[in-house]
């Protein structure tokens, strides 16, 4: 896959990631688009995610959503959640609200590239073509990844790099016509 954000990272085992809200290879439904960025009907509703089969030794998870196709030169981070306890195997629909009250105890959201500590939905520029959104659950070998709550998702990724035991990804698309 061209411009895969994981191509330059060490290979790790995969595990299973599913969702009642989105499907790998399909387009987002309207609620998962960004109302904050003015997408008509967008509600910035984070999708439901479930995972299983994480590698032995997993002590926590992180969840990220990244758009490598954003016209920025560095992509766009839409969502990042750190320190999800190892016993957790699901994030419910709407877990990515600014309040974060549906996240498991101890987990927290980092500010995305809009500088909001919440889920920001898809918002590809009109006429820019189809974008890919990598929704990823990272299985980690530490219970606390050691990043402050105001860190960037890129800093989270840097700190996770040597702690990732496995990775599960769903790639969802988004497009806004002219």
**Rounded CA separation 178/174 (Å):** 13
Q: Give SS3 for 103.
A: coil
* Predicted confidence (pLDDT) per residue in 12-71, tens digit: 999 999 999 999 999 999 999 999 999 999 999 999 999 999 999 999 999 999 999 999
Q: Are 122 and 34 in contact (CB under 8 A)?
A: yes
Q: Indicate whether 2 pLDDT > 90.
A: no
**Rounded CA separation 151/15 (Å):** 27
Q: What is the CATH number of domain 16-174?
A: 3.90.280.10
Q: Model pTM?
A: 0.96
Nearest-CA neighbor of 64 among 130, 146, 120?
120
């Amino acid at each position: 896959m061209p411009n895969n954000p994981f191509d330059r990272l060490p290979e790790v085992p995969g595990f299973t990631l599913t969702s009642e809200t989105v499907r790998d290879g399909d387009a987002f439904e309207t609620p998962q688009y960004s109302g904050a960025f003015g997408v008509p009907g967008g509600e910035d509703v984070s999708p439901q995610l479930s995972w299983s089969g994480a590698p032995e030794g997993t002590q926590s998870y992180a969840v990220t959503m990244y758009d490598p196709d954003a016209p920025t030169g560095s992509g766009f981070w839409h969502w990042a959640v750190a320190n999800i306890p190892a016993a957790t195997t699901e994030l419910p629909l709407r877990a990515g609200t600014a309040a974060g009250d549906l996240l498991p105890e101890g987990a927290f959201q980092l500010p995305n590239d809009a500088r909001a500590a919440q889920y920001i939905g898809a918002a590809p520029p009109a006429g820019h073509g189809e974008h890919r959104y990598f929704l990823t659950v990272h299985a980690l070998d530490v219970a606390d990844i050691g990043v402050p709550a105001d860190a960037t998702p890129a800093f989270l990724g840097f700190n996770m790099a040597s702690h990732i035991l496995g990775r599960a990804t769903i790639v969802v698309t988004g497009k806004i016509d002219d």
